Structure 1
C-alpha cells in the first residue's frame, strides 16, 4: 500500500477535480470509485453533452440553508478558472447556450472526463474502479477505510479522507447515502434531503387533462411566493417536466401549490381589449390559437368558454380567461423520485464545515464536497461549478 496524502471517495465531478488539483500541487491521492469508469454522472449530463458551468454563477443560484457559505469557495475558484482549466488541460473551448450555460464545443461529455483521466495519469494519481467503501473510521492519527475492491475486502489507511461520493439521485450510477451515513456516525448536522431538479406528478381529477397534452412544450413563467423561472414546461403522461418545472421543484414542498403564466411575453387583458376595440367578432378559441397549438387550445375548453365571441364576454368570463392563462394553478401530488432527479436537495449542513477548506470542524483531515453537502444549484451548470470549486478548495488543504 502506497503512502497517500489523501483518499478521495467518489470519482465524480468533485472527486476528480480534487485529485487533479492535488496532483498539480505535487500531492499523491487515491480515488475510490464504485463504477467501472470514472465520471459516470458527468457522461450522462446534458444528454451526453455536459453543461459544465454557467457564466452567470452566483450564490443566489443555489438552494441551501446558508447559500452565502459559497462565497469563500467561489472566491478561490471562479467560473473563469473553470473555463481556463478545461481550455488548458483538455483543449476544450466552451460554447454558450441558453441563460449562460456553457457546453464543450465538441458537445461531448467524454471530453470533460478525459481531461481528468489524462491529468490524473500525468500527475501519478491512483484510481481504483469497482471499489465500494464500506466504512470509514477516525483513528488517533488519520483514518481507516474498509473497502470492497472487485469482490475482495481490504483495509486502507490515510491521513486525510475526502467525501465526494455524491447524493441519492440515479441509483443505477452508484448513487448512495454513504456520505450521509458517515456524517450521522460522527453526529454531524444534516439538513433533510429530497429529490431536486425533478419532474412533478399530477394525480386525481386533473390527471387525464395533463396526460391529454403529453408532449406539448410551452414557454412559460413558473412561480410561487419565493421565486420564478421563465423557461419551457413540458406536459407528460404523468404530470409536468421541462426546465422551468425542474427549477421550481427545488423550491416546492409536498402539499404546496405554484402558478404558471402560460403567456409571459404578452398581457391577455390587453389582447382582449384590443379585440373588443376592433369589434370583438373573433371567438376566444381563435384568439388563443394565435399563441398556442390547436391541441392546447382545445384542452383549455375544460376551463374556458372557447366558443364565445370576445364581444360577448362578461367581466367574469374575461377575468377567468386572464387568470387561467396567466395564473394557472398547479398542485402536484409528488415528484418522480431520485431516479429521475438531477440532484439531491439538503445534505450535510454547511455549519459542520470550514467554509474555506470544507474540512469538518472538530474532525481534522475529514472533508466533504459536492452533492452530499447542503448546496443545490439551479439547472444549467451551477452544480458542476460548485463541484469543481469544492474539489479545488479541498485540494489546497490536503
Structure 2
C-alpha cells in the first residue's frame, strides 16, 4: 500500500488532515478505532457542534507557549473554516453567543458528512475498528502495528500523523496512545489533567451546594490567573456551568477561587438606595429581586436575611457585600476525564515544528489536535485548533 501518510485517529484533526491531503492530490490511510469517524464531533454542543469561534485568538488557549499557535492560525483562519464548510457542505454558520458558531441545521452530523464526502471523492482510505497498538522506527520509515478485522497487521509508512486525541471520554474511544507514543520516542509531555470540567465540593459545605442543585446564576468567577463572566450551575456534587468549566482549565488542586454572584450591580449601592427609601424591606426581600427564592434561602446560612435593611450594621453590610461579590470556593477536585470536554497539557510545543507540527527529533512523525499542549476555551476554540493543525500537517505530507 503506497500512501503519502498514515493518520491515526478519525476525530476533528485527523479528518481535516485527510480531507486537505486529498484536496492536494495526496493519498492517506486513516485508522479509526471506533466503528465510525467523528464520534466526539457528533456529541459536541449537545449534538449541534459549535465548530469554531469568531473571536479566536491565541489568548483563548492554555499552553506552555501560546505563541506557538501563530503559525497554524495564520495558515488556517476562522474565515477559512467558515468558507471550507460552506463550500464543501453548504453549511451556513449562525452565531449563538460570544462568537460561538453552529451550523444553521444544528446537526453535528452535517459537519462529519463534509469530511466523509470529501475523503470518498479524493479516494482517501479509511479503516474503521482499527486499533493501533504501537509505532516503531525501521530505518527511515515507521512500522504501525494494529488490530483490524480480527487480526494483527503491520503497515510501513514514511509519514505518520498522530491525531488520536486526549484522555476524555473513554466511552468514545479516548486513549493515552499519543502520550504513550511520545514517551516511547522520548518526546517531552506537559503534565496532563482534565479541562473544561465540573468541579466537586466535599466536606462540611457539600450539602449546601447540593441543596441548590439545578440553580443557575449569572456570575463572574475569578482566580489569580483569569476571570470569566457566564452562568454557573449548582449541582449535587459541586459546581458546573460555562463559567466554571472555563475556569477549570486554569484551576489547580488546592487553590481557591471567588464568585461574584451579582457582577453588574453593587450590594453597597443597593443597600444605600433601599435605606434612602426607608429601609423597611428585609435583606431577603432585597436579594429576591436578583436571585431565586431558593438561592436567597441558601444564602441565609451566611447572611442575616431576616433583618430589615434599616437595621443593618456596618459589619452586616460588609458581610453581605463580601458574600455576594467575593464568595470563596475551594473545590475538592474535578469530575475527571469522563466529564471533561478536553485534556489540558500533552505533547510539548517545543518538540514540534510550529509550521508543520512535525516532531523536531523524528522526521515524518506528526502530532495534532488535542494530543498537543494546546487547550482552548469552551465555545468552538478547540475545534478551530483541530482544523488548523490538521490543515498544517496535510500541507507537509
Q: Establish whether TM, by shorter chain, passes 0.5.
A: yes
Quote the Cα distance in structure 2 between the aligned partners of 1:310 and 1:166. 55
User: Runs of 5+ in structure 1 lacking a partner?
Assistant: none
1:339 matched residue in structure 2: 338
1:276 maps onto 2:275 in alignment: yes
Q: Deviations over 1:314-356 (max 9, x none)?
A: 1110010011001110000000000000000000100100000
Quote the Cα distance in structure 2 between the aligned partners of 1:243 and 1:150. 41
2:39 matched residue in structure 1: 40
Q: Deviations over 1:61-103 (max 9, x none)?
A: 0000001100010000000000000000011000001100000
Quote the Cα distance in structure 1 between the aligned partners of 2:211 and 2:149. 48
Quote the Cα distance in structure 2 between the aligned partners of 1:213 and 1:84. 44
Deviation of the 1:199 alpha carbon: 0.3
| Secondary structure class of the residue paired with 1:396 | helix
Quote the Cα distance in structure 1 between the aligned partners of 2:158 and 2:125. 16
| Secondary structure class of the residue paired with 1:254 | coil
2:147 matched residue in structure 1: 148
| Secondary structure class of the residue paired with 1:390 | helix
Quote the Cα distance in structure 1 between the aligned partners of 2:19 and 2:317. 61
1:118 matched residue in structure 2: 117
1:227 matched residue in structure 2: 226
| Secondary structure class of the residue paired with 2:75 | coil
Deviation of the 1:276 alpha carbon: 1.1
1:218 maps onto 2:217 in alignment: yes
1:307 matched residue in structure 2: 306
Q: Deviations over 1:133-166 (max 9, x none)?
A: 0000122121100000132100101110000000
Quote the Cα distance in structure 2 between the aligned partners of 1:180 and 1:251. 21
Matches within 5 A, 1:84-123: 84-123=83-122
1:161 matched residue in structure 2: 160
| Secondary structure class of the residue paired with 1:356 | coil
2:317 matched residue in structure 1: 318
Quote the Cα distance in structure 2 between the aligned partners of 1:364 and 1:147. 21
Matches within 5 A, 1:21-60: 21-60=20-59
Deviation of the 1:171 alpha carbon: 0.2
2:390 matched residue in structure 1: 391
Report which stretch shifted further, 8-17 or 269-278.
269-278
| Secondary structure class of the residue paired with 2:317 | helix
Deviation of the 1:273 alpha carbon: 0.8
1:240 matched residue in structure 2: 239
| Secondary structure class of the residue paired with 1:98 | coil
| Secondary structure class of the residue paired with 1:147 | strand
Quote the Cα distance in structure 2 between the aligned partners of 1:150 and 1:215. 46
Quote the Cα distance in structure 2 between the aligned partners of 1:223 and 1:15. 35
| Secondary structure class of the residue paired with 2:98 | helix
1:356 matched residue in structure 2: 355
Deviation of the 1:277 alpha carbon: 1.1
| Secondary structure class of the residue paired with 2:6 | strand
Quote the Cα distance in structure 2 between the aligned partners of 1:233 and 1:187. 41
Deviation of the 1:359 alpha carbon: 0.3
Quote the Cα distance in structure 2 between the aligned partners of 1:151 and 1:220. 52
Q: Deviations over 1:187-218 (max 9, x none)?
A: 11110000000000000000000000000001
Quote the Cα distance in structure 2 between the aligned partners of 1:310 and 1:65. 49
Deviation of the 1:305 alpha carbon: 0.1
1:6 maps onto 2:5 in alignment: yes
Matches within 5 A, 1:166-185: 166-185=165-184
Quote the Cα distance in structure 1 between the aligned partners of 2:112 and 2:277. 60
2:135 matched residue in structure 1: 136
Runs of 4+ in 1 over 3 A off after TM superposition: none
| Secondary structure class of the residue paired with 1:99 | coil
| Secondary structure class of the residue paired with 2:76 | coil
Give the TM-score of the pair, scaled to structure 1.
0.99
1:16 maps onto 2:24 in alignment: no
| Secondary structure class of the residue paired with 1:75 | helix
